Structure 1
Amino acid sequence: MTDARKRKKLLIVERKLAHNRGHHHTQISALSMLLPDHETNFVAGEFYDGFLGAAVGKLNARSVKLAKLRSRLRYGNMFQRLGAIFSALKSAHTVKLPLSAFGTQLAEICRNLQLGARDLVIVPTAELDSLESAVELTAILADKAPRICLRFLNSELGDRNERMRSKRLRMILGKLPPNIFLFTETEELATYFRRNFGMPVEGGFYLSCSISVPTVSTAEIDRGDGFRVGVFGEPRPEKGSKRLTGIISALADLAETESALPIDFVIQGSAADFRDGGVYAALQEFLKGERNVFVSPQDNRISPEDFEQLFHSVDAVLLPYEPAIYSLQGSGVVQDAVAAHKPAIHTRGMSMMAFLSHGNGVPATTDQEFAEAILRVAADPLSFQEGTARAAGYFQNALAANPLLRVLQTLPCDRQQDS
């Protein structure tokens, strides 16, 4: 057997991978670095533009849609089942729908790559569709099925219907094959799944995002006489985008009564977001910079290199996230803030507190509390240096202790290995 055949193989499945922005592409490089002894290939979404090189396959949206119809037909109420039958006849001219969204397609890709029981498939942004597909793939390939690791990032699992989601999940967990391993990013989400569904899931599957963990602090970068607060990513309600006006207005009022440095909010968004009718339209009064608090709009469609440079240019990161979503779900911006040695002003009660409790995070709830927290950090940013360094060290240790590595230490059992 040649050395090339002895080398284990890794197939990364990322259906949401399309363009060179966001966090989906960073997961490919992070997993490749985590498993340097594996030959890496990846499967992307239907509209992947090729920026990372050739994908070994693309998952089309139609198969996902048909699989969702099957779920409605199997687990829905009478109204949902009738709707699914009508949609299936209209879309596919049949009610014989696929068992999963892409299990058959992945099985064919695994065969083409000659993946076996010693090899690995990882879905870093997994949902119920992914889990059902992993089960079908295993049924098709049987003893030749690779080990499959799925990382769940939120509690909805791609199905907003709570009743149907629970039925789908409980059905799968009742017959989960031994080659499928379940993980979450945050410990909070793992606890939720174990408590509510008895799911055999392990938390702590973190991957570095846009900012690599540095060896030295970036706190000494000269950014002028002002203090820069970063608000990163697409403006979305769950990220507190609509709260920014209230927070910045409260801060502007406070800054008038205190001798504060000029505070510049670096906010990502499209041009339309800052115009009339946009989510940030009310911030127009702060664009001129006539007050001690002002806003600097930044494009949200920038390259990863430009994003990293922009991130390092700020002194602190603002995270007014909604705890209804982010008490379980993690945030790549939290990881980027920790990796870049930035203090974070964050919503009280959000997840990933293991990253924010080293003297690098300041919790807040009301707009006034956020404003006071920003002023506190701006008044003495150097007092957070030790805390941000401790948090970055914690992150490095968390990456090194990725629970995925324990899966690799155990050879497949009760299944034939590749010859």
Structure 2
Amino acid sequence: MTDAIERKKLLIVERKLEHNRGHHHTQISALSMLLPDHDTNFVAGESYDGFLGAAAGKLTARSVKLARLRSRLQYGNISQRLGAVFGALKSAHTLRLPISAFGAPLAGICRSLQLGSGDLVIVPTADLDTLESAVELTTIFADRAPRICLRFLNSELGDRNERIRSKRLRTILEKLPTSIFLFTESEELAAYFRENFDMPVEGGFYLPCSISVPTVSIAEINQGGRFRIGVFGEPRSEKGSQRLTGIISALAELAETGSAPPIDFVIQGSAADFRDGGVYAASQEFLKGERNVFVSPQDNRISPEEFEQLFHSVDAVLLPYEPAIYSLQGSGVVQDAVAAHKPVIHTRGMSMMAFLSHGNGVAATTDREFAEAILRIAANPASFWQGTARAAAYFQDALAANPLLRVLNLSLHGRQQGS
């Protein structure tokens, strides 16, 4: 009788969880809320500072490095194999490298928590190292292995070498254990994996990011003064950071010929990013706002509470992302914008169009098109209110229909029938 009422266990593995910044910590609370009938523990990175409480274990970067050397030895060309030999001898003084990045250590953590076949391991930010580790863990546990759910966020899967990445993935998929379930965030990425690797993967595994629920009313949007455009996160090339000044300059030219309201670009970055030589150095001329267009630098090292407050303060969100990456990869900022009822100006050809096609998004390609889209929203913000409300409602429905729940119910039903 005790077994029948014993609570199931959930272990969340997030190797990038170290400090109280970014989206990694929000995934733990979101998964705990999604699976309230499970007791939750988590595994963090080796530099985890304890801000969420005690972790069930930590995963080291060294084990990942050694496992990647092994993949080069196994799948690389001659020069890559020779480099891996030298790297292994230098780092580990042996060629007997681990089978996976952290399969064995993770199995030890699962044993200490007494996880069994009725329990669950979820990796919300998974890659190839994770997938190989999950296979090793399953092999170690055999028929007592917990169900393992992996969510992939991008097509590179943590290995930039396309040839080796494909070989690693195809080798695993040939004998994928039935207790391992594969998901992606965006539907576009799931379609890519299915078409190119015949991968048994489900798309649409979304989790709330920094903005967990819609909390902004129409009355709070654009209360007067400058119209604020938010550019959030660390500046990176794939996020189109280098082209931001071009967009601002194009907007300044258009604003001189029309009756545009004052427009303020709220941009996250370090102090060095806005100085000479920095990615946003060319925006210095707009810091004083002499041309009716302003740039307001914001620290990119702020707490989640400060980030949420900053996000709510803008009137629209700008995403000039590179489609070479983001035509498949999802974006947490898209989810935050939808949850916060913010219109989104985004690159044409981005993924997650299911979130951006409710009258809440405007697509653009050139700098001038981005500038025109910003002016269009700034001129009539009210015309986007219904669209942002529809998008927020869609997001809530998508969260409630998480494919994880359906797959887990089916797998559990199948096990019960087979027992």
* Same fold, judged at TM 0.5 (above): yes
Counterpart position of 1:202:
202
The code of the aligned residue for 2:83 comes to G
Deviations 1:103-159 (A, max 9, x none): 001111111101111100000000000000000000001111100000000000000
Counterpart position of 2:30:
30
1:329 Cα shift?
Answer: 0.2
Change (3 A) 1:216 1:265: closer
Contact residue 123 and residue 149 of structure 2 kept, 8 A? yes
**1: CA distance between counterparts of 2:416 and 2:387?**
49
TM-score by length of 2: 0.97
Equivalent position SS for 2:410? coil
Counterpart position of 1:350:
350
Contact residue 117 and residue 415 of structure 1 kept, 8 A? no
Equivalent position SS for 1:311? helix
Contact residue 186 and residue 330 of structure 2 kept, 8 A? yes
The code of the aligned residue for 2:28 comes to I
Equivalent position SS for 1:409? helix
Counterpart position of 1:318:
318
Deviations 1:158-201 (A, max 9, x none): 00000000000000000000000000000000000000000000
The code of the aligned residue for 1:377 comes to I
Change (3 A) 1:340 1:415: closer
Report whether the alignment pairs 1:397 with 2:397. yes
Runs of 4+ off more than 6 Å = 413-417
The code of the aligned residue for 1:402 comes to N
Counterpart position of 1:105:
105
Counterpart position of 1:238:
238
**2: CA distance between counterparts of 1:256 and 1:413?**
65
The code of the aligned residue for 2:384 comes to F
Aligned ranges for residues 50-129 of structure 1 at < 5 Å? 50-129=50-129
Contact residue 185 and residue 205 of structure 1 kept, 8 A? yes
The code of the aligned residue for 1:18 comes to E
Q: What RMSD, in angstroms, separates the aligned Cα atoms of the two structures?
A: 1.6
Aligned ranges for residues 122-141 of structure 1 at < 5 Å? 122-141=122-141
1:224 Cα shift?
Answer: 3.0
**2: CA distance between counterparts of 1:347 and 1:222?**
23
Contact residue 228 and residue 316 of structure 2 kept, 8 A? yes
Contact residue 219 and residue 341 of structure 1 kept, 8 A? no
**2: CA distance between counterparts of 1:218 and 1:4?**
48
1:221 Cα shift?
Answer: 4.2
1:217 Cα shift?
Answer: 2.8
Residue-pair matches, total: 418
Contact residue 235 and residue 279 of structure 2 kept, 8 A? yes
Counterpart position of 2:185:
185
**1: CA distance between counterparts of 2:219 and 2:348?**
25
Identity value in percent: 84
Contact residue 222 and residue 315 of structure 2 kept, 8 A? no
Counterpart position of 1:290:
290
The code of the aligned residue for 2:211 comes to I
Aligned ranges for residues 243-282 of structure 1 at < 5 Å? 243-282=243-282
Aligned ranges for residues 152-231 of structure 1 at < 5 Å? 152-214=152-214, 217-218=217-218, 220-221=220-221, 223-231=223-231
**1: CA distance between counterparts of 2:46 and 2:406?**
32
Contact residue 206 and residue 398 of structure 2 kept, 8 A? yes
Contact residue 30 and residue 207 of structure 1 kept, 8 A? yes
1:213 Cα shift?
Answer: 1.9
Equivalent position SS for 1:362? strand
Equivalent position SS for 1:267? strand
The code of the aligned residue for 1:209 comes to C
Change (3 A) 1:218 1:34: farther
**1: CA distance between counterparts of 2:415 and 2:351?**
38
Deviations 1:354-393 (A, max 9, x none): 0000000000000000000000000000000000000000
Contact residue 216 and residue 340 of structure 2 kept, 8 A? no
Counterpart position of 1:410:
410
Contact residue 227 and residue 262 of structure 1 kept, 8 A? yes
1:408 Cα shift?
Answer: 2.3
